[in-house]
Chains A and B, each alone.
Chain A
Amino acid sequence: MSTKGFFTDATVCIGCKACEVACKQWNQLPADGFEFSGWSYDNTRALNASTWRHVTFVETEEPVSWKFNSDVCKHCERAACLEVCPTGAIMRTEFGSVYIQPDICNGCGYCIPACPFGVVDRHPTDKRAWKCTLCYDRLQDDMTPACAQACPTQSIQFGDLDELQERAQKRLDRLHAQGMENAQLYGIDQPGTEGLHAFFLLPDKPEVFNLPPDPVVPTKRVGPTWAIAALSAVAMMAAARLAVKA
């Protein structure tokens, strides 16, 4: 099976939230409640255990603009959640996506602080970790994920990852030629995660859309910490020997 992914082109997103609705409906997820957040038209606020697509609304005053991005689980090539999961509930599917098996997850919660994007969350009453499945069930029946199917502007595109990346590069070149200098790709050349299977074309810097500019899967930097822990353990053993011999 070839690696599938999402190319989310935020430059054509109109903030309609059809993706949020389609995702909720297909996965039969509960609503987020009926409170106004005060953040533009974004009352969803963030990805969480019950929200697997979230449209970020960014209003700026100087110059006046209104930008949108449909945020989702990035299905990282090196996924922090997968690497820290102690039960093996989080796995890599045959489509290259990252999937949490709900019948195995025991709610240890380690994946939650591990994700550098703040995607995974543990449901407060269900008590298991949940996130976007890349519509694993739909993919197994050769269907398109619900959000990509519903998107009216083809802002969310689904397909083979390498084809999507080519398409994205062409789109970026075209935008730069049209004068949109701030347009940038997010998640293709990203050493910290070794690339995102769900990547983005953003009209501005990632921080504007609440995306970390330099996300790193924690395992990539933990080597020296393990070494220092080993040294500390050796020091403890040496101290024990010293104490006995003295």
Chain B
Amino acid sequence: MISDGRFIDAKLGTLSGEAAQQPMAYQLAQAQTVLKPPVWKPTVPLYFYVGGITGAAAVLAAACLASPDLHPLSRRLRWISQAGSLVSAVLLIDDLGRPERFLNMLRVFRPTSPMSLGSWALAGVGAFSLPAAVLDGPAGNAFTLANAACGAFLASYTAVLLSNTAVPFWIAARYWLPPLFVGSAMASLEALLQLFPLSEREHRVVGTFGRVGQILELGAGSALDGKPSLRRGLARDLWRAARLCTAGAALVALSPRHRRMAAGLATAGALATRFAVFYAGVASTKG
């Protein structure tokens, strides 16, 4: 009944015309897909990147309290987490269908919803990072620690947010997305900090943090390399770029003279990683 997709009954017609060899290009009767694709805009994967830096900065700021000569770096990191929380909020509010109702995100506290928990964590960083950045002494330290707790959650929950859906790729990748996103956040923070003048001690601290992040990012990325969703379409190109830039950044970082180049590669890699994961998921809902 059906021959080469053109619904021509071989008993009734033979394919002898000039154009008869054309394959079917207009999909009239393709299978309907079950799932609905996410309606999110590119601001969402961009938020994953910014939110990751925000959370990582909050955590590193708290760790730096342990060493007095790192207190200036700690303060700078608290300011970065404050700025990051504001940029994150703008990105997320922009993606809402009804942005004027953004405060409804804090209407309930729903532990079953990663988005609910993440909204509260972001609000926490927004609320705690400013007094943490401005105050000194025990009060400043307390706010820095509270900020770090919220920040640790912020840098890791987005992986769970994606996995807590029916999207086939995000479900398949769910055990590797958390270390991928957290490692990416750590590496992105190190890259961002290269924009500031850093002492040798600060370079070592930030460098170690970034190196561990790159190990997590590269390791989790290797585990995901085989997933079919990352080998098709736009996600494939983004993922290749992500892997190349991330590996390149790790190599170039071995040379202290090329820190800026390493930072650029790491940033590009981190952004490409988030966008690749995002678009791979969206495509996987379409069958």
A residues apposed to B, CB below 8 Å = 38-39, 45-46, 48, 61, 80, 83-89, 104-110, 112-122, 126-129, 210-212, 215-216, 218-219, 221-222, 224-226, 228-233, 235-237, 239-246
Nearest CB on A from B122, distance (A): 11
Task: Pick the contact of B113: A83, A113, A215, A244 (CB < 8 A).
Answer: A83
Q: Is the CB of A122 within 8 A of B105?
A: no
Task: Give the complex CA separation of A122 and B159 in angstroms.
Answer: 23
User: Can you list 8 pairs linking A and B with CB atoms under 8 Å apart?
Assistant: A80-B166, A88-B110, A113-B37, A222-B114, A225-B175, A235-B179, A236-B59, A243-B204
Instruction: Identify the closest chain B residue to A241 (Cβ).
Output: B63
Given A84-B113, A86-B115, A222-B164, A210 and B34 contact (CB-CB distance below 8 Å): yes
**Chain B residues, Cβ within 8 Å of A108:** 95-97, 105, 115
**Chain B residues, Cβ within 8 Å of A121:** 36
Task: Pick the contact of B175: A104, A110, A210, A224 (CB < 8 A).
Answer: A224
Task: Give the complex CA separation of A124 and B67 in angstroms.
Answer: 53
Nearest CB on B from A102, distance (A): 10
Which residues in window 153-190 of B have CB below 8 A to A?
Answer: 153, 155-157, 159-161, 163-167, 171, 174-175, 177-179, 181-183, 185-186
Q: Is the CB of B67 within 8 A of A244?
A: yes
Q: Is the CB of B39 within 8 A of A112?
A: yes
Q: Secondary structure at chain B's binding surface: helix, strand, loop or mixed?
A: helix
Which residues in window 237-272 of B have CB below 8 A to A?
Answer: none
Q: Does B276 contact A (CB under 8 A)?
A: no
By CB atoms of chain B within 10 A, which of A48, A107, A240, A245 has the most?
A: A240
Number of B interface residues, CB 8 Å?
Answer: 76
**Chain B residues, Cβ within 8 Å of A239:** 186, 208-209, 212-213
**Chain B residues, Cβ within 8 Å of A225:** 159-160, 163-164, 174-175, 177-178
Task: Give the complex CA separation of A221 and B28 in angstroms.
Answer: 36
Task: Pick the contact of A233: B62, B152, B207 (CB < 8 A).
Answer: B152
Task: Pick the contact of B107: A104, A231, A235 (CB < 8 A).
Answer: A104
Task: Give the complex CA separation of A116 and B177 in angstroms.
Answer: 20
Given A118-B36, A121-B36, A61 and B1 contact (CB-CB distance below 8 Å): yes
Task: Give the complex CA separation of A35 and B265 in angstroms.
Answer: 48
Task: Give the complex CA separation of A48 and B105 in angstroms.
Answer: 24
Q: Is the CB of A128 within 8 A of B97?
A: yes
Task: Give the complex CA separation of A221 and B174 in angstroms.
Answer: 10
Q: Chain B 91-111, CB within 8 Å of chain A: the 1/0 string? A: 000011111011011011010
**Chain A residues, Cβ within 8 Å of B213:** 236, 239
**Chain A residues, Cβ within 8 Å of B107:** 87-88, 104
Nearest CB on B from A187, distance (A): 15
